[in-house]
């Protein structure tokens, strides 16, 4: 089935009973299209610019906001905003962390069998394995990726040679990279040349670059934990939807601490 065919199979009226009558705040059109499983926000912008999207019979604009009861159509076919979905994947080696790949390689999205389109939060290199969160909740994904919320990512790193204790102290204090010094990290030796590293930043290839900066090359890299989420019960390539309590805990992670009450 083609991509548009899958969209057509999900067509329904906008007044979905799942939405009920609770207040749903307006959403920018490109974000609404992403929630409908049409495309990423960037590609949704292209659809809007090409005049293929209408809202209540009028051509959609980049600054259009959509209400719950609005009639949104792509190429004349009505769409419905999807339910939010949150997935934890045990990413195997050799799979790329993207929604689509121009080289035709298998992607993490290909591994997820859900009617709802989800996209990865952050990236793992093709040869890196481990915990990867995917969702269509763009607001939460943006917050989780923002360094100010300091979401912990725990990695198990295998090196080609055993590092010294002094090297591990340097990593813990932060090392200088071309895009700035890294924040302090938690570092402990698991066995010989196998190191556990906990960071809360999400720079491109950060773990590998940190070890390269202190003179060591990474042999294998595995993300064992993302925030509070571990891979217990998941083999490489397997995934599961998060429990509501796990989603709420992720949301709590991205909330600023409350100011102490005045006496």
Structural contact between residues 120 and 108, judged by C-beta atoms closer than 8 angstroms = yes
Distance CA 46, CA 52 (A): 9
Choosing from 45, 101, 125, 152, which is the catalytic residue?
125
Residues 6+ apart with CB under 8 A from 178: none
Q: What Å distances lie between residue 129 and 115, 124, 221, 231, CA to CA?
A: 25, 7, 7, 11
Q: Are residues 109 and 132 in the same domain?
A: yes
Q: Are residues 33 and 141 in the same domain?
A: no
Alpha-carbon Rg for the chain in angstroms: 21
Let me know the angle formed at the C-alpha of 149 by 147 and 154, rounded to the nearest 5 degrees: 75
- Mean pLDDT, residues 195-213: 95
Q: What is the largest CA-CA distance in the chain?
A: 67
Q: Are residues 122 and 234 in the same domain?
A: yes
Q: Are residues 63 and 183 in the same domain?
A: no
Residues 6+ apart with CB under 8 A from 236: 90, 91, 92, 93, 129
CATH number at 29 reads 3.10.290.10
Q: Which range of residues forms the domain containing residue 236?
A: 84-149+229-242
pLDDT, one tens digit per residue, over 99-151 is 888 888 999 999 999 988 888 999 999 999 999 999 988 888 888 988 788 89
Domain count, the chain: 3
Is 125 noted as a catalytic residue in this protein?
yes
pLDDT, one tens digit per residue, over 33-75 is 887 878 778 889 999 999 999 999 999 999 999 988 899 999 9
Q: Are residues 131 and 233 in the same domain?
A: yes
Q: Are residues 12 and 70 in the same domain?
A: yes
Q: Are residues 233 and 143 in the same domain?
A: yes
3-class SS at 66? strand
Q: For the whole model, what pTM was predicted?
A: 0.76
Q: Is the pLDDT of residue 164 over 70?
A: yes
Helix H or strand E segment including 120: strand 119-120
């Amino acid at each position: 089935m083609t991509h548009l065919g899958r969209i057509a199979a999900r067509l329904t009226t906008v007044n979905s009973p799942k939405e009920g009558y609770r207040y749903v705040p307006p959403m920018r059109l490109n974000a609404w299209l992403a929630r409908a499983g049409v495309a990423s926000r960037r590609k949704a912008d292209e659809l809007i610019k090409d005049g293929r999207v209408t809202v209540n019979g009028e051509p959609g604009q980049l600054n259009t906001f959509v209400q719950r009861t609005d009639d949104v159509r792509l190429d004349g076919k009505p769409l419905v905003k999807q339910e939010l979905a949150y997935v934890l994947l045990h990413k195997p080696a050799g799979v790329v962390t993207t929604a689509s790949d121009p080289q035709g390689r298998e992607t993490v999205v290909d591994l997820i069998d859900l009617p709802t389109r989800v996209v990865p939060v952050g990236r793992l290199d093709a040869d890196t394995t481990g915990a990867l969160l995917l969702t269509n909740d763009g607001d939460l994904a943006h917050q989780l990726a923002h360094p100010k919320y300091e979401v912990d990512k725990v990695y198990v790193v295998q090196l080609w040679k055993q590092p010294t204790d002094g090297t591990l102290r340097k990593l813990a204090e932060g090392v200088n990279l071309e895009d700035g010094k890294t924040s302090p990290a938690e570092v402990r030796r698991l066995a010989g040349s196998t190191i556990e590293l906990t960071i809360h930043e999400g720079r491109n290839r950060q773990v590998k670059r940190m070890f390269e900066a202190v003179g060591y090359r990474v042999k294998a890299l595995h993300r064992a934990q993302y925030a509070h989420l571990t891979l217990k019960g998941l083999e490489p390539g397997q995934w599961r939807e998060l429990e509501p309590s796990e989603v709420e805990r992720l949301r709590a992670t991205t909330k600023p601490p409350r100011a102490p009450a005045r006496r």
